[in-house]
Structure 1
């Protein structure tokens, strides 16, 4: 079976990871880690925004009604 090389696409160009310098591979890894952290933070933000809306709705229910 032929070994499949890992590839990465940067600015529309595809590269074999094994063809990149060690520093370039490290930067790819850094980008992947930061992309994962951005995704995690976006999920946390969505959860927090949902909770805030629920709290605001609960507060609105507790406020005296204006006539």
Structure 2
């Protein structure tokens, strides 16, 4: 189920609540589903930070260099 389907499934029962409460819940749902986390990865040179990112995102999103 994608986020918009989940929101729609939750919003239908909200129509039976008072408008202000329903609106308040809807605003919080939208904030939760649009949240984009920021992640920082730190470590020594050659520790595998780029390789970790590429593995997590299943593609080459950061260049990987050879360790000398």
* TM-score relative to the length of structure 2: 0.38
Higher helix share: 1
Higher relative contact order (CA 8 A, sep 6+): 2
Higher strand share: 1
Higher Rg of the two aligned structures: 1
* TM-score relative to the length of structure 1: 0.39
